[in-house]
Amino acid sequence: MAEIQGKVSVSEAKRNLRAQPCTLVIFGGSGDLASRKLIPAVYNLLLDGALPPDYAVIGVGRHQMSDTEFHASLREGIVKHSRQPLREDRWKEFTSRLFYLAGEFDDAGTFQELKARLEKIERQLILPGHRIFYLAIPPTSIASTSQGLHQAGLVQPANNSAPFSRVIVEKPIGRDLASAQQINSTLSKVFDESQIFRIDHYLGKETVQNLLVLRFANGIFEPLWNHKYIDHVQITVCEEEGVGTRAAYYEEAGALRDMVQNHILQLLCLVAMEPPWSLDPDVVRNTRLEVLRSLRPITGADVNTYTVRAQYSPAVIKGVEVPGYRREQRVRPDSTTETFVALKVFVDNWRWAGVPFYLRTGKRMPKRTTEIAVQFRHIPQILFNADLASPLEPNLLALRIQPEEGFSFRIISKLPGSKVQIHPVNMDFQYGTAYGAASPEAYERLLLDVMAGDATLFMRRDAVEASWEWVTGILEGWQKHGTKWLPEYSAGSWGPVEADRLIEEEQRRWRMP
Ligand code: BG6
C-alpha cells in the first residue's frame, strides 16, 4: 500500500459542512432502489460512524407491511447489496430507527398519517425535525407527492430558522425538455430551488470526484488540457447485464435518455469544465453548466453523421443462450428502443475547439466498465517515431471509474537492453491498493451531502434542462431522419460496426477498456 505522504487537507469551502441530525423519508420505500441502494447506504454510513447519531428513516410505500416485515425485507437487500457484510451485533440498533408506513401517494390521508408518525418518532428519538424527503418514485407521482407534503404542512420554507425540509429527486426527470420543465415547475411550487437535490449517482462515485482533484490539484495536467495537446476524449460506460426486469421503464427510455442525458453528460462536464474560481456549490455548478451550453447541437439529419444507435441481438455467452432485446420479457417484438448509443460530440468553446468527444454506452456488452480516456496528440514523426508504417502510440490518460477505480498513464519507454527498442508502458494507480480500503458507494456520499446541505454534486434545474434541450434535439432528429430498423450487435460484443465506423473515419479507434 502506498504511504500517504504529507498532510491530508480539506478544502476550505467544505470544512464547516456536517451532516445534521434528521429524518429521512423514502417515498418508494418498498421499492427496488430503496432495498438495493438507499437502505444499504444508510447501513454502511452507520457502520462507518459517518451518520449523525440522531436520525430516523421512514419508508413510505404502497405495499402493506409492518415495521418488522419491512426490516426483514431490507435485511435481504443488505445481505445481497451492502458494501460491508451484515453484522448481527449492529442489526438491532439499525432497525430501531427504521420505520414503515403504507399508503398511496395521491391520498391526502397518507400525508396526514405521515405527519403524525413523524412527530411521534421525532419526539421519541428527540430529533430536531429536520426532514429529507427522498422521491424514489416514478415521475408521474412527483406532483401528487410534493402537493401532498405541502398540503399536510410538512414542508418548511427555505432560509428561515425552522428545521430544514429538503427533497431528493431521482431520475428520470422527464423524457424530453418539455416534460423535464413540467416536473421542475411542479417541484418549484412546493420547494425552493435551494431545497431540491436532483440526484445523479455518477457524481457521487469516488473516481468521478477525483477527476476534479486530479485536474485542479496537480500542476502537470491543466497546461495540457486543451485542443493544443489533446487529440480526443472517449467516455465509455458499458454494462454486462441486459435490460433485466426493468423493461417497462427501459422501453420508454433507451440508452440515450437512460445514461447519456444524465450520467455521461455529467462525466463530460467534469472533463471539459473550466477551473471554477471556488468550490462553492453554485460556482462549481455554473462551470459545469457552461459545458452543457457549449455542446454543439446535433439536430435534423446530422443525427445520421454524429450518432449511432443499436439493439443487442441473441448470442451464446459463456455457454448460455442470451435473448436479443426484442425477445426480452415485456419488450415489444417490434421495439425500436436503443440499447446502445455512440456519439461524436463537440464542445464549441476556446479550450476544446475541434476536439471530438466520443461517447458510448450499452447494455449486454462484454463487461461492466466505465472509463474516461484522454488521448494526447501524436508526436512529430521524427526521431523515435520516424517509422511511418507503425507510428508510436500517443500518450493516454485513462481514468477508470468502475469496477476497478484508478487511473493509468501511457508513456513510451525504452525496453532494457543494448538496442534502442521502445515500447508503451502504463503507469498505474489503483485506489484499492493505494489506500487499502473500498471506496464508499455513491449513494452513501450523496446522502451525507444532503444531510449537510451541500448541493455541489447535485443537478440544478438549469443544468437538467440544458442537457434535456441538447438530448431532445437528437431524439427529434432520430424520429424524423432515423432509420426504422436499428443496427444490431451480438449480445456480449462491443457494439455494432456502425459505431466503429463513427470513430474510424478519422483514423481513431475505440479502446477496449
Ligand atoms: C441507472 C440506469 O441510472 O444507472 C441503469 O437507469 C444503469 O439502466 C445504472 O444500469 C448504472 O449504474 P452503475 O452505478 O451500476 O453504473
Ligand 1 geometric centre to CA of 2 (Å): 31
Ligand 1 geometric centre to CA of 238 (Å): 10
Q: Specify the 3-state DSSP secondary structure of 25.
A: strand
Q: Model pTM?
A: 0.95
User: Which protein residue's CA is at the shortest distance from atom 14 of ligand 1?
Assistant: 202
For the stretch 371-381, what's the b/e string if a residue is b when 16 or more beta carbons lie within 10 angstroms of its beta carbon?
A: bbbbbbeeeee
pLDDT for res 485: 85
pLDDT for res 412: 93
Distance CA 245, CA 171 (A): 17
pLDDT for res 419: 84
Ligand 1 geometric centre to CA of 248 (Å): 15
pLDDT for res 18: 87
User: Which distant-in-sequence residues (6+ apart) come within 8 Å of 153 by Cβ?
Assistant: 115
Within 6 A (CB) of ligand 1 lie 171, 201, 239, 258
User: Which stretches of 337-454 are assigned E, i.e. beta strand?
Assistant: 340-346, 356-362, 369-376, 396-402, 406-414, 422-430
Q: Specify the 3-state DSSP secondary structure of 237.
A: strand
> CB–CB of 133/142 below 8 Å?
no
Widest distance between CA atoms in the chain: 83
For the segment(s) 10-173, the CATH number from 3.60.15.10, 3.40.50.720, 3.40.50.300, 1.10.390.10 is: 3.40.50.720
C-alpha cell at 426: 502504463
Q: Specify the 3-state DSSP secondary structure of 225.
A: coil
C-alpha cell at 190: 412546493
pLDDT for res 12: 47
User: Which protein residue's CA is at the shortest distance from atom 10 of ligand 1?
Assistant: 239
Distance CA 224, CA 409 (A): 14
CATH H-level superfamily of 203-440+460-504? Dihydrodipicolinate Reductase; domain 2 (3.30.360.10)
Residue 91, CB-side half-sphere exposure with 13 Å CA sphere: 13
171 CA closest ligand 1 atom index: 3
> What does 337-364 look like in DSSP terms, one character per residue?
--SEEEEEEEB-STTTTT-EEEEEEESS
C-alpha cell at 446: 450523496
Report CA 471 to chain centroid distance, whole Å. 17
Ligand 1 geometric centre to CA of 239 (Å): 8
Under-50 pLDDT residues of the chain? 1, 12-13, 15
Report how far apart, in Å, the C-alpha atoms of 383 and of each of 391, 394, 410, 449, 487 are: 11, 14, 19, 52, 44
- Residue 98 main-chain phi, psi, to 5 deg: -120, 120
Q: Specify the 3-state DSSP secondary structure of 414.
A: strand
C-alpha cell at 321: 443462450
pLDDT for res 469: 98
Q: Give the pLDDT confidence of 251-260 residue by residue, as tens digits.
A: 999 999 999 9
**Which residue out of 81, 170, 258, 404 has the highest number of ligand 1 atoms within 8 Å of its CB and is therefore the one to mutate?**
258
User: Which protein residue's CA is at the shortest distance from atom 6 of ligand 1?
Assistant: 258
**Which residue out of 259, 266, 312, 444 has the highest number of ligand 1 atoms within 8 Å of its CB and is therefore the one to mutate?**
259
Report how far apart, in Å, the C-alpha atoms of 255 and of each of 178, 361, 457, 465, 492 are: 19, 7, 22, 18, 16
Distance CA 462, CA 416 (A): 55
Distance CA 436, CA 439 (A): 9
Q: Give the pLDDT confidence of 298-320 residue by residue, as tens digits.
A: 999 999 999 999 999 999 999 99
Distance CA 251, CA 2 (A): 46
pLDDT for res 43: 97
Domain positions in the chain: 10-173, 203-440+460-504
Ligand 1 geometric centre to CA of 156 (Å): 33
Q: Give the pLDDT confidence of 25-56 residue by residue, as tens digits.
A: 999 999 999 999 999 999 999 999 999 999 99
User: Quick one: DSSP state of residue 383?
Assistant: G
Distance CA 74, CA 40 (A): 8
CA angle (266 as vertex; 25, 343 as ends), nearest 5: 130
For the stretch 293-328, what's the b/e string if a residue is b when 16 or more beta carbons lie within 10 angstroms of its beta carbon?
A: ebbeebbeeebeebbbbbbbbebeeeeeebbbbbeb
| Residues known to be catalytic | 263
